[in-house]
Amino acid sequence: MTIHREVSDPQRRRLMQAALAAAMAAAAPRPAQARAVRTSARIVIVGGGAAGISMAARLRALLDGARITLLDGARQHIYQPGLTLVAAGTWAPAQVIEEQSRWMPRGIEWLQDHAAEIDPVAKAVITAGGKRLPYDFLVVAPGLELAFDQIAGFDPERIGSDGLGCVYAGPEAALGTYRMIMALAEKGGDALMTLPHTPLKCAGAPLKLTFITDDLLRRHGGRGRARVHFLSPLSSVFGVPSVNSRVLELWKQRDIGVSYGARLKAVDPGRRVATFATNDGDVEQGYDFLHVVPPMRAPAVVRQSALAVRSGPLADGGWLDVDKDSLRHRRYPDIFGCGDINGTPRGKTAATVKKGGLVAAANLAAVIAGREPALKFDGYTSCPMVTAIGRAMLIEFDYEGRLTPTLPGVEPLTESWFAWFLEERMLKPAYFAMLKGWT
Ligand SMILES: Cc1cc2nc3c(=O)[nH]c(=O)nc-3n(C[C@H](O)[C@H](O)[C@H](O)COP(=O)(O)OP(=O)(O)OC[C@H]3O[C@@H](n4cnc5c(N)ncnc54)[C@H](O)[C@@H]3O)c2cc1C
């Protein structure tokens, strides 16, 4: 695999020092926490991804005596933000794969099974293996589901062949995506980059992949033989207007075309033809590389339960019906949500888990202590928007789509090597510190 290295940036030394200072500050001893709430409550956590594990670690610190059971059948933990780097050819798949057991907090029970049913009236979770887990409080954190079945003719097994890529489908698929981009660099042709009509995790990833495809084509001498085109089912490519405008400006400079109102509905890999639903009916387009970003929805255990949003735009995906400020369920007050599952207006990133998890855990501890939830989540979301290998823009925003930069001297809409450095070197340790409940 090619490892790309980027060197020149005049601010590099100063920024590196700032990053190291920030890392040291994060590692410094923290002031003593408020006394833990004494309780014998039974807490079940559904899901052991970024949200479930970090919630378990936070609740362990906030509660004394709680009996916490985490339910997740997955043995591997995938560091998903790294998938983009695998598709860029800068990381190997092994760099994003961890043993789940390594990150499970001490003092909790990890049940290696999946939740098949949640009964919020009887207050019990029934597992796929047939076990019944009664709870006093429930944390719902099973992430989301990639709905490949909503794209006719598309088989995720074929990612990495027939010109098909998808960075979302796991480490091997991300590597296969890189190989398909490199095949395009060699032979030339049409790259079609897609976006779903549903809420999606890391809404920046489809844009990053577009920038990366353009950059890899240039680096390997194939840009002149290839056309890169992004198709959005909406009237924009990103939900935050200032970011949307900036991305479009950069794409114009890089000769990346954009179409709106086009939703990928079918793929014929044999003919290499994609069908898009548009206002003017179905339109077929040939491709040499197709980056498929499938519709996303809540896993069935939530989508088909009483916990799902019942009306409005989020009802279709069956997202968890939480209050966006407290992250408490709107009908079942002993249930909190964390992570991608939440039916909130924005924010399906690990950064959202980091800030939102603090709020959800503190509010749950308050409820256990007999108080009302006091903390409010502002919807913080963050995404280092990779604009080339070795360059990115650090985008941070809240529920309202307001930019909320947190690092002094780092302009959100300006490309920098530093933002790339954050994505490539700093985010992974920060992510695992979050799993430990340290940040
Ligand atoms: C390509 C890509 C790039 C990304 N880039 C970034 C980035 O740059 N920055 C950023 O902050 N975020 C990024 N993210 C998003 C981030 O990874 C997710 O938002 C985060 O992992 C969400 O955590 P989660 O725990 O909700 O879901 P996940 O981490 O997906 O974990 C869900 C867990 O629930 C388990 N589960 C599912 N169903 C059940 C069930 N029925 N019972 C029990 N367990 C169940 C699964 O096995 C899994 O372990 C990216 C994601 C992708 C895919």
The per-residue pLDDT for range 32-60, each reduced to its tens digit, is: 456 899 999 999 999 999 999 999 999 99
Q: How far apart are CA 59 and CA 91, in angstroms?
A: 33
Task: Please report which confidence band the pLDDT of residue 1 belongs to, taking 50, 70 and 90 as the band edges.
Answer: very low
Dist. CA 140 → ligand 1 center (Å): 13
The response to whether residue 302 sits with its C-beta less than 6 Å from ligand 1 reads no
Q: Please report, rounded to a whole number, the percentage of residues in the chain having pLDDT higher than 70.
A: 92
Q: What is the fold, at CATH topology level, of the domain defined by 39-144+298-379?
A: FAD/NAD(P)-binding domain (3.50.50)
Residue 371 · residue 174 · CB < 8 Å: no
Dist. CA 421 → ligand 1 center (Å): 22
Pairing of strands 132-134, 137-140: unpaired
pLDDT over 50 (residue 199): yes
Give the pLDDT score at 104.
97
For residue 393, the cross-strand partners are 385
Q: How far apart are CA 362 and CA 336, in angstroms?
A: 11
Q: Which residue has the tokens 């695992």?
A: 432
Q: Which of 349, 381, 395 is the best mutation target for the ligand 1 pocket, counting ligand atoms within 8 Å of the beta carbon and taking the most?
A: 349
Tokens of residue 96, six digits = 């994003």
Q: Provide CB contacts within 8 A for 393, sequence distance 6+.
A: 246, 384, 385, 387, 412, 413, 414, 415, 416, 419
Q: How far apart are CA 200 and CA 145, in angstroms?
A: 10
pLDDT tens per residue across span 317-355: 999 999 999 999 999 999 999 999 999 999 899 999 999
Q: Over range 81-110, report the average pLDDT.
A: 97
Q: Which of 44, 76, 78, 80 is the best mutation target for the ligand 1 pocket, counting ligand atoms within 8 Å of the beta carbon and taking the most?
A: 80
pLDDT over 60 (residue 10): no
Residue 173 · residue 156 · CB < 8 Å: yes
The response to whether residue 139 sits with its C-beta less than 6 Å from ligand 1 reads no
Task: Write the residue with the smallest CA distance to atom 17 of ligand 1.
Answer: 80
User: Which amino acid is it at 115?
Assistant: A
Give the pLDDT score at 409.
82
Pairing of strands 256-259, 226-231: parallel
Q: Which residue has the tokens 């206002």?
A: 279
Give the pLDDT score at 28.
41
- E strands, 182-262, are 189-194, 226-231, 256-259
Q: Residue 90, SS3? A: coil
Residues of the chain with CATH 3.50.50.60: 39-144+298-379, 148-293
- E strands, 169-320, are 189-194, 226-231, 256-259, 263-268, 273-278, 281-286, 289-291, 296-297
Give the pLDDT score at 24.
42
pLDDT over 60 (residue 308): yes
Give the pLDDT score at 12.
55
Residue 191 · residue 227 · CB < 8 Å: yes
pLDDT over 50 (residue 30): no
Tokens of residue 381, six digits = 């979301």
Residue 341 · residue 317 · CB < 8 Å: no
Q: How far apart are CA 189 and CA 222, in angstroms?
A: 9
Task: Please report which confidence band the pLDDT of residue 408 belongs to, taking 50, 70 and 90 as the band edges.
Answer: confident
The sign one gets for the Cα dihedral 159, 164, 170, 176 is positive
For residue 138, the cross-strand partners are 44, 335
Q: Provide CB contacts within 8 A for 169, sequence distance 6+.
A: 146, 156, 159
The response to whether residue 309 sits with its C-beta less than 6 Å from ligand 1 reads no
Say how many C-beta atoms besides its own lie within 10 A of residue 155's C-beta: 12
Dist. CA 95 → ligand 1 center (Å): 16
Higher pLDDT, 410 or 210: 210
Q: Which overall architecture, per CATH, does domain 148-293 show?
A: 3-Layer(bba) Sandwich (3.50)
Number of helices (H) and strands (E) in the chain: give both, helices first: 11, 24
Mean pLDDT of the chain: 93
Task: Please report which confidence band the pLDDT of residue 68 belongs to, taking 50, 70 and 90 as the band edges.
Answer: very high
User: Greatest CA span in the chain, whole angstroms?
Assistant: 66
Tokens of residue 391, six digits = 């360059």
**Nearest alpha-carbon partner for 59 in 323, 363, 373:** 363
Residues in the chain: 439
Tokens of residue 339, six digits = 């992570």
Say how many C-beta atoms besides its own lie within 10 A of residue 1's C-beta: 12
Q: Over range 138-149, report the average pLDDT.
A: 98
pTM: 0.94
Residue 105 · residue 45 · CB < 8 Å: no
Dist. CA 143 → ligand 1 center (Å): 5
pLDDT tens per residue across span 177-192: 999 999 999 999 999 9
Tokens of residue 56, six digits = 């378990």
10-29 CB burial, b ≥16 within 10 A, e <16: eeeeebeebbeeeeeeeeee
Task: Write the residue with the smallest CA distance to atom 38 of ligand 1.
Answer: 142
